């Protein structure tokens, strides 16, 4: 006994194969005509997304703070009246009475008569002391040990050279103390201020030996441009 129905099975198989072939043909035709490309393009386009923020309601206003009422200050009561203390008054004792006694008048002594004496002769005036003779100025070449070196190294003043002065002179005086200190330096005369300033600068570099007392030293300077 056979359970297979050959005619019916072959017709169904043929129909299924035909449907499959038609579907494949349709897919191939769609791929060739760019249908799949359009689908991929549509899928690949970017999707725009927007984030919508939630609208938050405004915060409620802060609660009102009620301040306590200011304290009431009552005025202080007026001070109670206090009567002044009673001070007993004691009467001061009376001073003792003074009894006046009569005194006899004083007897004045007789006046003394002064005798006129002869005037004494005035002493003769003493003769005036002779005027002090000022000490003669001392030479710097004698009092100062480095006089020759300072004078030999002296250069023509630059200020005189800038002014176009070719020659000049100056006389400088200073006081040499007993300790060998030079002070009171001044210019007695100078043909120009430039020579006076340069000469005073040279005098300040002298090294001098003091004498028994203060002495006056004068130093003449002569300048000539070479």
Q: How high is the pLDDT of residue 34?
A: 63
Q: Assess if residue 27 is contained within a domain.
A: yes
Is 214:175 a contact under the CB 8 Å cutoff?
Answer: yes
Is 145:208 a contact under the CB 8 Å cutoff?
Answer: yes
Q: How high is the pLDDT of residue 192?
A: 93
Q: Assess if residue 79 is contained within a domain.
A: no
Note down the domain range covering 175: 138-224
Q: Assess if residue 14 is contained within a domain.
A: yes
Q: Which one-letter DSSP state was computed for residue 173?
A: E
Q: Assess if residue 80 is contained within a domain.
A: no
Q: How high is the pLDDT of residue 99?
A: 47
Q: Assess if residue 17 is contained within a domain.
A: yes
β-pair partners for 220: 171
Q: What is the DSSP string of 120-143?
A: PPPPPPPPPPPPPPPPPPEEHHHH
Q: Rounded to an integer, what distance in angstroms lies between the CA atom of residue 40 and that of residue 34?
A: 10
Q: How many domains does the chain have?
A: 2
Q: How high is the pLDDT of residue 197?
A: 93
Structure tokens at 46: 């970017």
Q: How high is the pLDDT of residue 111?
A: 58
Per run of 10 residues, the mean pLDDT along the chain (length 226 residues) is: 54 82 85 63 62 75 74 69 61 51 57 56 67 64 86 88 92 91 92 93 89 89 87
Q: How high is the pLDDT of residue 97?
A: 47
Classify the C-alpha dihedral 14-19-25-28 as positive or negative. negative
Q: How high is the pLDDT of residue 15?
A: 84
Phi (first) and psi of residue 195, to 5 degrees: -75, -35
CA dihedral 25, 26, 30, 36 (to 10 degrees): -100
Q: How high is the pLDDT of residue 100?
A: 46
Q: Assess if residue 156 is contained within a domain.
A: yes
Q: Assess if residue 208 is contained within a domain.
A: yes
Q: Rounded to an integer, what distance in angstroms lies between the CA atom of residue 56 and that of residue 113?
A: 138
Under 8 Å CB-to-CB from 209, ≥6 apart: which residues?
Answer: 143, 144, 145, 180
């Amino acid at each position: 006994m056979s359970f297979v129905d050959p005619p019916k099975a072959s017709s169904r198989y043929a129909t299924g194969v035909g449907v499959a072939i038609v579907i494949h043909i349709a897919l191939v035709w769609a791929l060739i005509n760019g249908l799949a490309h359009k689908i991929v393009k549509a899928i690949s386009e970017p999707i725009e997304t927007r984030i919508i923020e939630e609208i938050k309601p405004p915060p409620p206003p802060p609660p009102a703070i009620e301040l306590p009422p200011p304290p009431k200050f009552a005025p202080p009561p007026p001070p109670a009246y206090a009567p002044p203390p009673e001070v007993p008054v004691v009467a001061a004792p009376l001073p003792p009475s003074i009894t006046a006694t009569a005194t006899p008048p004083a007897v004045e002594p007789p006046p003394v008569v002064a005798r006129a004496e002869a005037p004494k002769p005035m002493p003769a005036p003493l003769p005036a002391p002779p005027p002090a003779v000022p000490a003669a100025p001392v030479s710097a070449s004698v009092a100062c040990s480095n006089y020759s070196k300072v004078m030999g190294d002296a250069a023509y003043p630059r200020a005189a050279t800038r002014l176009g002065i070719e020659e000049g002179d100056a006389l400088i005086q200073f006081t040499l103390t007993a300790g060998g200190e030079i002070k009171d330096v001044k210019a007695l005369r100078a043909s120009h201020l430039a020579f006076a300033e340069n000469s005073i600068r040279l005098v300040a570099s002298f090294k001098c030996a003091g004498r028994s007392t203060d002495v006056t030293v004068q130093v003449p300077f002569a300048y000539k441009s070479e």
